[in-house]
A and B are shown apart, each in its own frame.
Chain A
Amino acid sequence: MQSLGLDVLFKGSNFLRLLGGLWVAVRISLVSVAISIALGIPAGILMTSNRKVVKGIFRVYLEIVRIMPQMVLLFIVYFGTTRVFGWNLSAEVSAIIVFVFWGCAEMGDLVRGALISIPRIQYESAQALGMDAMTSFRYVILPQTVRRLIPLSINLITRMIKTTSLVMMIGIVEVLKVGQQIIEANRKTSPNAAFGIFAVVLLMYFLICWPVSRLAVYLEKRWA
């Protein structure tokens, strides 16, 4: 095992530092996901609107998110807002803003898809039972939408967790950056540490993302 540089992992507080970095990544993605879901549901409802202006605005928004690399968005929010408006956002707040900007668009699109997938007959039956638009939405459409949505949105969570590795570019020290720091600090004494440390980082991402995606599979089976 020595040759893989795993001994480096237990030098000083290295392992704790990696766990601390993992917590930073998980914290940023959890906060972002929570806000994205809260904002994404109304956004998705608006996306199904028949009004051209509303539709157009959301289409442009969605395209911006799809076109712009998250990396560029991070630089715009972290450095750009300071240059243009003089706001001094902390790196973590900037990261959360970017992830919410991205998550809200993706979540909105998922909600829109789920809403559209509810058969017309559901709307018509609710109407036939004498429900008005609000009541039928609240008691008939929304519960079915949420069931279809949960597995999809959980996939978004795992993607967000993995994308947090970009936030090192704006100075946030998360798990991958801690890994690089450990490898570099021991470059002379354990040149092979890169393999061992990256393997451990991989395992950490896996241990976080795997239960989340298993949960998605479970919910999909139960609620489909």
Chain B
Amino acid sequence: MKKTQIIATFVAAAIGTTLIGAGSVFADGTFRTLDEIKESGTINIGVFSDKSPFGYVDENGDYQGYDVYLAERLGEDLGVEINYVSTEAASRIEYLQTGKVDIILANFTVTPERAEEVDFALPYMNVALGVVSPDDAVVESLDDLGEEDQVIVISGTTAETYLVKNYPDIHLQKYDAYAEAKTALENGNAAAWANDNTEVIAFAIENEGFTVGIPSLGSADTIAPAVTKGNESLLDWLNEEIVALGEEQFFHADYEATLLDTYGADYEDTLVVEGGAVAAAETETE
């Protein structure tokens, strides 16, 4: 009896892994072209439903946020209804590869690894690291830090990886949770706190007495819409649309409608990418 159970377990495990394997082997680009979407009258757009202020659902059950503001405009210009699909960070690529959504607009950071799996359109937002410090001793460059000065990071974030790699001499104070890092900075345990710039900017605005001395640090990444790999008709249309929207300063209007409350007017040009042109936005922050 014992033996059969062990054998059964192994057979089951084998079948299980085959099933999982099959999922990744037969990757095949099922997608709807621009014409097919227009014909059907509905576009499926994957957004976050719980990442305020980028993609969230308000108290009336309507989708809102920086990503959704763009999605609404895309639907309007295509002349189709929008079917919002609530996605999780971990399933965004899967949704595109199986054609279950046409576009992902879920705060999707462009990385080389992801670009192999999906096609990114032109970017519409910048992300980078930022450093916040107390008003009385603003840290404007990491090179200014004294030997005794420590920098707070949250374990496992890109800020930690970046500082360990590029500034190995800086002594880091690592915390597991946002709330702990916040308390540590407020108590003056360290000279500064490094995190995603959107996070530190929001922190400085919500908490008196702190300034973001370094609003953009490290490799500047961008946020862009993504489509299924090979869906050229939709990708081309998106790129043209983003360039055209740039001419009417659409993404600044988007920022003012959705992000202004959280990040304030000072960071509009740091965060917004207009018309897909990243370079312009970068020089402004320098």
Binding site for B on A (CB under 8 A): 11-14, 17, 56, 59-64, 66-68, 72, 75-76, 79-80, 82-84, 86, 88, 168-171, 173, 177-178, 180-185, 187-188
Apart from A63-B9, A184-B52, A185-B56: 19 A-B pairs, beta carbons within 8 A: A56-B8, A59-B4, A64-B12, A67-B9, A67-B12, A72-B20, A75-B94, A83-B23, A83-B28, A83-B98, A84-B22, A84-B23, A88-B99, A171-B86, A171-B87, A177-B50, A181-B49, A184-B56, A188-B52
Cα of A73 to Cα of B27 in the assembled complex, Å: 18
Distance of A55 from chain B, by nearest CB (Å): 8
Cα of A183 to Cα of B49 in the assembled complex, Å: 11
Contact at B100–A82, with CB atoms within 8 Å?
Answer: yes
Distance of B109 from chain A, by nearest CB (Å): 19
Give the residues in chain A near B57, CB-CB below 8 Å. Answer: 178, 181-182, 185
Contact at A180–B50, with CB atoms within 8 Å?
Answer: yes
Interface-side segment among B58-66, B126-134, B164-172, B207-215: B58-66
Interface size on B (CB < 8 Å)?
A: 44
Cα of A188 to Cα of B203 in the assembled complex, Å: 11
Known: A83-B26, A169-B88. A64 touches B16 (CB 8 A): yes
Give the residues in chain A near B206, CB-CB below 8 Å. Answer: 188
Cα of A147 to Cα of B152 in the assembled complex, Å: 62
Tell me if A's interface is mostly helix, strand, loop or mixed.
Answer: helix
Residue of A nearest to B15 (CB): A64
Give the residues in chain B near A66, CB-CB below 8 Å. Answer: 12
The residues in B between 72 and 111 inclusive whose CB is less than 8 angstroms from any CB of A are 85-88, 90-91, 94-95, 97-100
Known: A63-B12, A183-B50. A83 touches B97 (CB 8 A): yes
CB of B51 within 8 A of chain A? yes
Cα of A185 to Cα of B48 in the assembled complex, Å: 11
Picked from A11, A61, A88, A185, the residue with its CB within 8 Å of the CB of B100 is A88
CB of B5 within 8 A of chain A? yes
Residue of B nearest to A9 (CB): B59
